[in-house]
Structure 1
Amino acid sequence: MNKSNFLIVALVVILGAVLSSVFIVDEREKVLVLRFGAVKSVKDEPGLAFKLPWPDTVVRYDDRILSLDVEPLEVTPLDDRRLVVDAFARYRISDVEQFREATGAGGEQAIAVASRRLDSILRSQTREVLGSVSSNDILSSDRAALMLRIRNGAIQNARAVGLEVIDVRLKRTDLPTDNLGATFERMRAEREREATDERARGNEAAQRVRAQADRTVVELTSEARREAEVVRGEADAERNAIFAESYGRDVEFFEFYRSLNAYRSALQAGNSSMVLSPDSDFFNYLKSSGGISAQ
């Protein structure tokens, strides 16, 4: 081999070494430089980066926000009404060294491993959170607090494998198809029981109102009767006082007035037959136009 050929070979070797020592870090990724399988450095700034041509290797990880659709799962809330929950999450690989240590994967395989690990975390956290509330809370439109609890719980668990959970959303919460009939019957039975309870409480309240009204009627009637008796007694006393005063002023007129009242009561149609002595005092004012003194 002559000198020129040797120089060409040397240049090729040098060029190959230089090219194998240089790599590009994309802005959408993070890169780990491994030496004999151990992490040597982390490259997270976009641009050119360098490594040893041998024995360093480069492992790339996606640094973008990723999406994960959690497989539908059944949960059992506090009221034992089973629900099928469908959720999704937004996440990213935040610590590539920790993720590498926890999973030992890189490239496309890392995304698959991250999805499996996060799916397991979210399923466990979803069952734990939704199992602590009633189905009405889960089915209501205001579920932001539940989703926040699931996310906060998942953040702690995902951080251990180098993942950052950004958001968790419940897409769908339905009854299981094989349980719709029984669930519907149970819901109807619960509503009927609630309606029966409401009617019973209404009847009880109505009875209390009626009893109070009856008591008020009795009290008002008794008070009115008492007042009437008082007024009637006062009127009788006033009448007797007037009679007594009248009797004291004109005894003959008072006797005449009493006789007329006796005639009015005794001499009525169908009741005019009497057996009396002709000289009875009852006929004093009928026998003489001059009254008792005229006899």
Structure 2
Amino acid sequence: MNRAISLLALPFLVVVALLVIASLYIVDVREKALVLRFGEVVEVREEPGLGIKVPFLDNVVTYDARILGLPTSPMEVTPLDDRRLVVDAFARWQITDVVQFRRAVGSGGIEFAQRRLEPIVTNAIRQVLGSVPSTTVLSDDRTPLMNQIRDLARDDAKDLGVRVIDVRLTRTDLPEQNLTATYARMRAEREREAADEIARGGEAAQRVRAAADRTVVELTSEARKRAEVVRGEADAR
């Protein structure tokens, strides 16, 4: 009898255990979680720990709560003086409103958010760098420019439920064809300077040779004159 009851209770206990397991979820300290029921948000969990959901009805979606990085592709920008530059940048961002983030990116998650965030950052870079001359972009202190880019990108990214924390210009350089032309111009200038120096040196050497020849002629003439005088005096004696 007892054995029969035990055999009947075993499936029930298994079902209960499965229901308990299916109703529990864990939120990691590095994550934020949303509990979805038929696609609608029913609970937001931003604190780590154990949570409870309705088994087989609720779905838990987690997102990275840490600061994330976004490297941009190399882009050409045109500063105020129409001198084209190639720019690389690196942005750091973080999810701040997980519900708004879910509505903005849907099931695309972090990867889809990166694809939407990159044009926001690149547009901010083009707008800010296009308002200043290239000398400002190429200067050693670009902190004010990067802060302007960050603020502009932060305002445009609010609808994604994220916050742009920082934007850094990792490279600002001339395009390859401009570099080639610049190097050629610099080489031509150096060659012209070298030719000028050689010409000036030749002129100086010519003057020195002319002065030396004139000195030789004068000394020779003076020596001959003295020799004639001495010879004449000797003949007179």
TM bin (shorter chain): 0.7 to 0.9
In structure 2, list runs of 5 or more residues that go unmatched.
Answer: 188-237
Please name the residue that 1:155 is paired with: 154
TM-score by length of 2: 0.74
Please name the residue that 1:94 is paired with: 96
Distance 2:186 2:169 in 1: 23
TM-score by length of 1: 0.60
Distance 2:8 2:149 in 1: 66
RMSD across aligned positions (CA)? 1.8
Q: 1:34 aligns with which of 19, 33, 36?
A: 36
User: What does 1:56-205 align with in structure 2 at a 5 Å threshold?
Assistant: 56-105=58-107, 110-182=109-181
Q: Secondary structure at the match of 1:141?
A: coil
Distance 1:6 1:60 in 2: 38
Q: 1:10 aligns with which of 9, 12, 28?
A: 12
Q: Secondary structure at the match of 1:132?
A: coil
Are the counterparts in 2 of residues 81 and 183 from structure 1 also a CA contact under 8 Å? no
In structure 1, list runs of 5 or more residues that go unmatched.
Answer: 189-295
Distance 1:186 1:94 in 2: 51
Distance 1:4 1:19 in 2: 22
Amino acid corresponding to residue 135 of structure 2 in structure 1: N
Please name the residue that 2:235 is paired with: none
Q: 1:26-66: CA deviations, max 9, x gaps?
A: 00000000000111111011111110012100001000011
Change in Cα spacing, 1:185 to 1:135, as seen in structure 2 (3 Å) is: farther
Distance 2:109 2:165 in 1: 18
Please name the residue that 1:248 is paired with: none
Q: Flag the structure with larger Rg.
A: 1
Q: Return structure 1 stretches of 4+ with deviation > 6 angstroms.
A: 184-188
Q: Secondary structure at the match of 2:81?
A: coil
> 1:179 offset after TM fit, Å?
2.2
Q: Secondary structure at the match of 1:57?
A: strand
Amino acid corresponding to residue 15 of structure 2 in structure 1: V
> 1:86 offset after TM fit, Å?
0.6
Q: 1:235-282: CA deviations, max 9, x gaps?
A: xxxxxxxxxxxxxxxxxxxxxxxxxxxxxxxxxxxxxxxxxxxxxxxx
Amino acid corresponding to residue 90 of structure 2 in structure 1: F
Please name the residue that 1:264 is paired with: none
> 1:184 offset after TM fit, Å?
6.2
Larger relative contact order (CA 8 Å, sep ≥ 6): 2
Q: 1:201-260: CA deviations, max 9, x gaps?
A: xxxxxxxxxxxxxxxxxxxxxxxxxxxxxxxxxxxxxxxxxxxxxxxxxxxxxxxxxxxx
User: What does 1:196-235 align with in structure 2 at a 5 Å threshold?
Assistant: none
Amino acid corresponding to residue 167 of structure 2 in structure 1: V
Distance 1:54 1:40 in 2: 14
> 1:3 offset after TM fit, Å?
3.6
Are the counterparts in 2 of residues 82 and 175 from structure 1 also a CA contact under 8 Å? yes
Please name the residue that 2:56 is paired with: 54
